[in-house]
Amino acid sequence: MRRSSKQMMLENAILKRIDGKAKQATEWLFANDELQVLQEYANIVSIKRLGFNDHGPVHMRKAMLNALIMFGLLADANIKFNLEREGLARRDDCLVAVLTASLLHDIGMTVARENHEHMSVQLGMPFIEELLKLLYPDDLIKHIVLRSLVIEGIIGHMATQRIHTLEAGLVLIGDGCDIEKGRARIPSILMKKPRVGDIHRYSAGSIEKMRIIKGEEKPIRIEVEMAESAGFFQVEEVLYPKIASSPVKPYIELYAGVTGKDMLRYL
């Protein structure tokens, strides 16, 4: 199936950063036409039917890349992930779960906005099962454990249910970090009349750049640069609550500010 240039750019950026089973899993997911259709339809429902922002192939890959970058920063800081500490899997296996959950987390938008994280699990289960059978044909323990971890990542991405692993916490924050203005551009063009909730689009339109880099005091530093102060709403109402409810919070520095001015430190 035809993929957009933006989608392909993100896929290439992701694949360049990974190898081993994580790369095998990601290539399989990217090549799956049924999953591609689900993601594109999720975007139609989100933008055209409901008037929300991007929840399609580009957003899911951005969330995936964000989670991957943070995963690497934690790994570089010698932070062990939950399945590593518990002796259930290797780091590469943990990454498989993070990437898979990130790429499936919003496919439930094809059904409804409310409880879409639960719908994403239901729709994603065939992909999860087939992928894990491919990667771990003779390892029942990893199959079962990673399946549950992927589900935790998907269920937890709305911060409405408590999660307990760094792996799921990365999916949650990776999703929350997709707040740059491009994500809200199409809904803003299509919506002709103001409506309740427009502040989310207007504030997102103020976000010029979101950076995930190595922190000075902690492994991860997230910087949000905005054109005007309306962007603080996006940081405080979307991103910060997700970080605050994530097990990854102790490892994050969060800064936000208007271009040309000093940044405010939240964490």
Strand order in the sheet with 264-265: 207-214, 220-226, 252-258, 264-265
Residue 257's H or E segment, with its range, is strand 252-258
Phi first, then psi: what are they for 255, rounded to 5°? -125, 145
Radius of gyration of the chain (CA): 18
Residues 228-253 have pLDDT tens digits of 999 999 999 999 999 999 999 999 99
Q: CA-to-CA distance for 167 and 150, rounded, in angstroms?
A: 9
Q: Where are the domains of the chain?
A: 5-174, 181-265
> Token pair of 145, please?
């454990």
- CA nearest to 246, candidates 121, 148, 151, 161: 161
Please give the pLDDT value at position 201: 58
How many helices and strands (H and E) does the chain possess?
Answer: 13, 4
- Mean per-residue pLDDT, 52-80: 94
Burial of 173 (0-12, 13-18, 19+ CB in 10 A): buried
- Evaluate if residue 213 carries a pLDDT over 80: yes
| Of 2-6, 129-133, 223-227, the least confident | 2-6
Amino acid making up residue 2: R
Please give the pLDDT value at position 204: 72
Q: CA-to-CA distance for 100 and 73, rounded, in angstroms?
A: 19
- Evaluate if residue 99 carries a pLDDT over 90: yes
| Of 11-20, 142-151, 160-169, 181-190, the least confident | 181-190
Please give the pLDDT value at position 189: 43
Residues 170-206 have pLDDT tens digits of 999 999 999 987 555 444 444 455 544 455 556 778 8
- CA nearest to 41, candidates 120, 159, 152, 156: 120
